[in-house]
Each structure stands twice: as structure tokens, then as C-alpha cells.
Structure 1
Amino acid sequence: MPFTEKLKHIKLLRKLIYVIIGIITYPVIAIFNKLKIEGTEYVASLPKKNVLFVSNHQTYFADVMVFIHIFCAIKWRKKNRLGIPFYLLNPFTRVYFVAAEETMRTNWLTRLFILAGALTVKRTWRYESTEIRRNLDPSDTRKIQKALEKNWVITFPQGTTKPFAPGRKGTAHIIKNSKPIVVPVVINGFWRAFNKKGLKMKKRGVQLSITFKPPLVINYEDSVDDILGQVMDAIEQSKKYMLKGAHHRNS
């Protein structure tokens, strides 16, 4: 196991990293902007393992920052709010998130996110400056399945911040094989407040929203395509949501 991976599993170090990330990011999500949270009652009653959060994606890192804050706040019995971040004194660390490897090694802050629980996967490759999309390879899938055995995992099935991009079948394969509780999440407003990476604020006073929906009722014997279709409907990124209004667009 690589040294970075070993560090990631040291609980005390993870807590320290969450405190650092939390202190840095709290002002931009809860003071300079407005955060609306819904559905934390569905999260509070979940078991502490084999839970997969599936979400649409608007920035590389700001989305994950908010998940971390909310999960820590829920641990401190907060309901649909963050409040003063006393929850950083004892953060919730049994969560990992899927992230493209090429975005995780650009600077010290992104590398800190690796230690915070990033499951790095090779989701794209570039040919003559063009991004070519591809599904998760088997080794990446196994990495996510292993993390689910004892933790929560956040994944973004589209693997891109482009709205209404098709979902990756790798997510459905993971659902079929690991049979996790699948919690759909819909986020909005992040593209207005932050740049694409989510590390720089573009605008203040933006309404950020994150809605946790009830866990999906899934027939794990369904086809990969059917499961993926169910997931994409739940995170409001399927074709039937495409023309429902400007609030679903990020351009």
C-alpha cells in the first residue's frame, strides 16, 4: 500500500485534516454565501458502512467540502443546518469520495484532499488537449467497493461538472456488486459561487443548496442500464429533467 494511502487510514490524522479543511472552507460556504440544506433526517439514521451517496457535480472540490461539513454537523445532531462549526472539534471521518486522479495533484490543497479521503480514479485521459471520457476501470471499482465495506462513499456518476452529461456505468456496477444503501443528492448554486475547481470564489451572496433524498429502493438484480437510469433520475440529471428550467443549468 502506498505511503499516502497508509496515512489516509490514520484516524487522528484524518481528524486533523478535516479541522484544517473545515476552518479554511467554512467562511466561503456559510458566511460569504448562503447554504440551504434539506433532508438530513435521511442521513442521520444511516448505518456507518456500505452507504453510497450519488450526486450531480458542479465543481471539483467545493461540493465535497460541503458534504464534509454537513456530515460532521449531523454527527453533532444538527438538522438541516451547520450553525457555528463546533462540530470540527470531533469531525465525522468515516467517509471517502471518488475523485479523478488528474485533478488531485495540482497543489498543496488538492493533495490535502487526498489525505482527507479521496479515492483517486483514472476517469479521463487527454489526446491533443481534448478530454476523452471513459468508465471506471476494474481496479478503481474494487477500490471503491473496499472503501464501502467500512465507510460511506460519495460519488459523482457523471464524472464531470457538465450538466446532464451521461452517467458512468461503473457506478451501477458498484451498486450491483456491493448492494449499498444508495442516497441520491441534488446540489445547486456552486457553479455560480466558485470557479470550476471550487477552490476560488467567483461571487458572494450566492444561494447554495444541497438536498438529500430518501434512499433508493433498488432491485440489485436489475440490469446495469436500468440501475444507472434510476440513479440519474434521482439526481435530476436524466433527459426528462434537461428542459425543466434554468435552475438545472450551469451555463
Structure 2
Amino acid sequence: MTSSLAGKVAIVTASTAGIGLAIARRLGQQGAQVVISSRKQENVDTTVQQLSGEGLSVAGVKCHVGNPSERQALVERAVEKFGGIDILVSNAATNPVYGGLLDCPEAGWNKIFDVNVKSAYLLTKLVVPYMEARGGGSIVFIASVVGQIPSMGIAAYSVSKKALIGVSDLFAKECAPKNIRVNAVAPGFIDTSFSSVLVSNDSIRKSLEKSIYLGRIGKPEEVAGVASFLCSNDASYITGAVMNVNGGMLGSTI
């Protein structure tokens, strides 16, 4: 694999499993120095050891993105360890509530928006000055197909991802004069623990696959490839975009 990100420093949130881990690994394989994070220290330690064993340049820090001091520590770790920040992939998300908006309790709504939207917004504000100091950078928000095709089963989560796409678009406008590109990736149904309640059920999985042009559930590595492309110079004229990685979806609702 080419070293298209050699010399770059990347932060990837929620990066010890699933899509986040796949993205951290891909960025490292392309030459970036990567700071991974997770809410649990043991997951951070295991992943740092794993990726280091693959010959990648990584560091890690425990970070619950909803915690201001831990967000700050994540940024400081990248600067102290690798000298700056060029890339942010904001991947952390939560979904503790299932059902429609009318059934969503206020506490659940607040938690979803604190993690999925507010923390991404605040973390971006933290890293932009460091990117600007290095002459530019790339920010990638991991959104979701349900931010474009809402799901009644995860309604509040769908709204949060739609909001995140809006945050991405506005940051793209504000950060362009600083030579910082901002884009969103909208994965469809990807085979991870986050979606296991759906994809592990044969009948639900088959129903989902019928709604996808390519007729299958995606892999984390397929999202990672698009995210790493957006972080590279090959995407130097792409900002404010939403890159769909969903295999093709049918219908207006899920």
C-alpha cells in the first residue's frame, strides 16, 4: 500500500473496533501516525499493541468524547506524541434509544446528541487551530445512511446523523479559507457489533439485503477506504461532500 499519508498525524475517535478500527488501520498503513481512542483503557491498550505489532505508528488515549477533559487530553496526546494534527476522523456515536421520536425520552435524546453531534462539533473546534498551524488538514465525520434515509426504528439516531451532516457542511464553508477540508461519510449497513442486532438475525439481514443494490451488508474496510481517500491529497478538491458507502439503497425509509 502506498504511503499517501506519510508525515500526517491523525486522530480517530472510537477506534478500537468496527469502522473506527478499520479507519485507524488504513490511515496507519498509508503512512499516518495515528492516535486511537476508546472509552475503555483496556481496549486502547489492546488496540495499540495490535496495530503496533502490524508495524504501524500509533498511540492511544482513553477518551469518552462527551467528556471535555478527555477530549482535551486526546488532542494534547496527538500534539505531544507526534507534533501536531493534520487529520480528524470523528467516528464516535451512540444509540441507546429505539423507536420513533414520540417514544424517545429526553434523557436518551440528550445523550444521543451530546455524543453524536455536540462532541464532534467541540472536538473539531479544538483541532482546527492545530491544523491551521500546519497549513491545512482534513476532517471526516462518520455520519450514516439513516441521516439521509430516516429509520423509524432509530428515529433520534437518524436525526442526530442528519444534524451531523449539516455540521459537516457548515464547517466545510468556515474552514475552507484555512485550507482545511471537511467531509462526511455516510455508511449503510456495515457488519460491526454496532449493527449486530440487525445483521445477526437472518430474516432481518435478508430483508435488508433486498433493499441494497449490491445485495449484501458492507465491511468496515470498505468504509475505511473512502475515509482514507478523503484524508489524502487525491481528494484535495473535495470538501463539503457526503460520500455514500451503502451499496445502493432502495426506498425513502428504512
Normalization by structure 2: what TM-score?
A: 0.40
Normalization by structure 1: what TM-score?
A: 0.41
Higher-helix-fraction structure:
2
